[in-house]
Chain A
Amino acid sequence: MPLLTMSSITKSFPGVRALDGVDLDVEEGEVHCLLGQNGAGKSTLIKVLSGAHQPDEGEITWRGDPVRLPTPVSAMRLGIATIYQELDLVEHVSVAENVFLGHEVATRGLIRAREARSRTAELLARLGHPEIDPGTLVGSLSAAGAQIVSMARALSHDVRLIIMDEPSAALDPDEVDNLFRIVASLTAEGVAVVYISHRLEEIRRIGDRVSVLKDGSVVARDLPARTTPTDELVARMTGRDVRSAFPAKPGAPSRSEPVLRAEGLARDGEFAPLDLQLRPGEIVGLAGLVGSGRSEILETLYGARRPTAGRVLVDGRPLRPGSIPAAVRAGIGLAPEERKSQALLMLESVTRNVSVSSLSRFARAGWLDRGRERAAAHRHTRDLALHPDSPERAVSTFSGGNQQKAVLARWLLHGCRVLLLDEPTRGVDVGARAELYAVIRRLADEGVCVLLVSSELPEVLGLADRVLVLKEGRVVHTAPAHELDEHRVLDLVMEGAPA
């Protein structure tokens, strides 16, 4: 008897049928992977399963009995816990308080703090992280630490099924290994895991069965996770043919004069003095772990952080340190790591998100020529194949890949010559990634210098011409991408052995 069966689940929102007769069954002790592009209905399905959404039709049975899950609490009572993509922790309170949030260890309303702390410590030890102090504030933990806390919270209930929504998105390779150890020990105890990830290689490593969602329906089920070919999985998700994701690279390295130069650029405690040259037509990748100083380097080049030493030059002229407007005027553009909080004005249309950095170009004495603004923005969104092609709609209604296109269009409209990309494909589904890769390569071919940061090594190696390997804020190796492979880079970031 399966632990959980969902049959013919249907859920509509105004104008969208998010789930259309979905069937899913989960066995005890298995890792059931859920694949699908953004918008395929994965999030809606797990929200139904966790009690956050009510299905319009369909039935859920739990250990053979039909159940209703009117609230998240009722799902929790059955033993269903969800770890969301965007962790739902309270930053200003301690680890222990977060773990027992909503079901505090208390007698008649009085918290038994010591017991909560010791039980939290037990849970953290079970998760392989005894070093996390139950008394520290969650806000001071790393992304990986916060995720462990989230998991401890799930385990603080008598949990039988854990839903993990892209748990590895913010993790380093060694932290991912730890996550997989935890998943393995949970399933050994008979706990079932519903695992959602865009990274197919992870599904190979820990998955048992795969179900594929597309446009609100299950298009494939009971696929063996370890042996189903990648091509087949992707074809099921997209309904299209497959070929290599990465566009061809130019044969010879760029020999033009560098547009951007960093000379001895450094920030105390973040990264050591760095010399860097970016030439037109070149894509340079920064490989390294989370916390190796990748994003800090990008933000310092962009003027969002003030360097403690060194300088940045564009066309041989030094930029005013720590000034974003100066960097933007010189033709540098940044697509930051957190698209929603750092790049986009979520209430505004795509057009206004695209034009925001170039407003003065469309204005005379502060007076906007909105027709010209719109025409110019539309030219670039159409050029990048924004889908759907309705840039007057709010940017929040677009998928992750198309939101990223809006950010790229912003800098193309500005006429940028140096593009700094921080995790450009985070939260972008597999079909749209190839499209973004093609766009980035085309921009480089048109003479833009690109500096790329990504946690996914295949992306750095596949897209970049030249790769800088970072370890703890220091460049430990520089090489053309074709001379490197994933193992070599991983050795370098772990061991830091100079080549």
Chain B
Amino acid sequence: MNADAPTTVASTPTPPQAKKEHTGSRRMPFDVRQLSLVGVLLALVVVGALTKPDEFLAGENLRLILTQASVIGVVTVGVTFVIIGGGIDLSVGAIVALASVWATTVATQDFGLTGMLLCSLLVGLGCGLVNGLLIAYGPMVPFIATLAMLASARGLALQISDGNTQVVQVDAVLDLGIKDSYVLGIPPIVLVFALVCVVGWLVLNRTTFGRRTVAVGGNAEASRLAGIAVKRQRLLLYLLSGLCCGIAAFMLIILTGSGQNTNGNLYELDAIAAAIIGGTLLSGGRGTILGSVLGVLVFTTITNLFALNNLQTDIQQIAKGAIIVAAVLVQKGRSTS
């Protein structure tokens, strides 16, 4: 064999090869997907304004849309983190139900507003902890672990409430839902949603936690070999999702003045759908909070439009499905060009 092979070239810096222009590799603060979602949202507003000019644009109705978007929106922010981190959380709806029921038992109500709020958050965190431990340190894949949590959390909610609607008797909680508590005309629930979005955006884009989430979701093995504590990161992500569920549960309590084991029904699907149409990759590693929020607003606005126009929920469901398909097709088209 040739002893000096492979012989090769002087170590001068590589000369420029054919100049390649790569589109889409630069980070833009506002990418195409989100622009198209804003377009869809505007189109929906136009439709609303044309079909029900008096009702749709009324301040009361816009407030209603935002309020409805807030509860599912907070859940979606948590789910978005989990999906970007390479996981999935199917248990969010059930956790919301369990937290809302637990925080409204007669015993918990004795502790007043603070006790109920703490209870709601702790139940959310507790469920997230179980999810996270099973997934990060146990042998379970996220789909199975959170599916199991979905079933058992909802079961526990039914057991605690015995199927009854637990009416809130604490005035301090109920007061948060009425007009007097609005700040500049905005309900406190909507403000909390806005706060969660801002904090979520900052955490995702400006902290080591966010950066590691993206890394673990994009390539878990490479992240592990780069020295990231992947298991701890996964655990933290499910804790975060659980915490968001706890917040959302308390928002629901304020909104309905009660806790029910049927709360949060199918939230997991709405949250995942909103994240996906917002541009989050289901396989992990890429996604934005802004996209998810836009996704939630689109869905909520559709629901509102259908209600105003007295259309049935079946058509509404079909429309939602069509939008999911359309959004994913638009993304595919953009990313392969």
Residues of A in contact with B (beta carbons under 8 Å apart): 14-17, 39, 198-201, 204, 215-216, 230-231, 234-235, 238-245, 247, 302, 304, 324-325, 327-329, 334, 336, 341-349, 352, 356-357, 359-360, 363, 366-368, 370, 385, 387-388, 392-394, 397, 401, 410, 430-435, 437-438, 456, 458, 485-487
Contact = CB atoms under 8 A, between A and B. Distances in A.
A401 B9 CA distance: 14
Given A304-B224, A345-B219, A348-B214, 4 more contacts: A230-B7, A243-B7, A433-B6, A434-B9
A431 B8 contact: yes
Given A343-B225, A370-B206, A434-B11, A230 B6 contact: yes
Contact of A349 (B8, B15, B27): B27
Contact of B209 (A366, A392, A456): A366
B183 interface: no
Interface stretch (B17-25, B146-154, B306-314): B17-25
A484 to B, nearest CB: 11
Contact of A341 (B1, B12, B222): B222
B257 interface: no
A228 to B, nearest CB: 13
B221 to A, nearest CB: 5
B9 A304 contact: no
A356 B6 CA distance: 34
Q: Number of contact residues on B: which range applies?
A: 35 or more
Contact of B7 (A234, A363, A410, A486): A234
A35 to B, nearest CB: 12
A201 B225 contact: no
B9 A234 contact: yes
A456 B1 CA distance: 12
Contacts of B25: 349, 393-394, 397
Contact of A430 (B8, B20, B223, B337): B8
B286 interface: yes
B13 interface: yes
Contact of B215 (A15, A356, A367): A356
Interface string B210-248: 011011001101111111110000000000000000000
Q: Which of B7, B224, B285 has the most C-beta atoms of chain A within 10 angstroms of its own C-beta?
A: B7
B23 A15 contact: yes
Nearest to B210: A368
B7 A344 contact: no
A236 B189 CA distance: 69
Contacts of B212: 356, 359
A201 B15 CA distance: 26
Contacts of B337: 14
B207 A363 contact: yes
Given A201-B1, A216-B18, A397-B25, A348 B7 contact: no
Interface of B (DSSP majority class)? loop
Contacts of A394: 22, 25
A244 B3 CA distance: 12
Nearest to A397: B22
Nearest to B14: A387
Contacts of A241: 9-10
B6 A199 contact: yes
A245 B6 contact: yes
A171 to B, nearest CB: 15
Given A17-B18, A347-B286, A393-B25, A243 B10 contact: yes
B225 A242 contact: no
13 contacts: A199-B6, A201-B2, A215-B18, A240-B9, A327-B227, A343-B225, A359-B212, A367-B207, A387-B16, A431-B14, A433-B8, A458-B3, A485-B3
A33 B70 CA distance: 63
Contacts of B206: 367-368, 370
Given A204-B2, A349-B27, A359-B212, A325 B227 contact: yes
Nearest to B20: A16
Contacts of A235: 9
Contacts of B2: 201, 204, 230
Contacts of A14: 21, 23, 337
Interface in B1-53: 1-18, 20-23, 25-27
B35 to A, nearest CB: 20
Contacts of A16: 18, 20-21
Question: Which 9 A-B pairs have CB atoms at the shortest separation, nearest pair first?
Answer: A15-B21, A328-B227, A245-B8, A394-B25, A359-B208, A438-B11, A345-B218, A366-B207, A393-B25
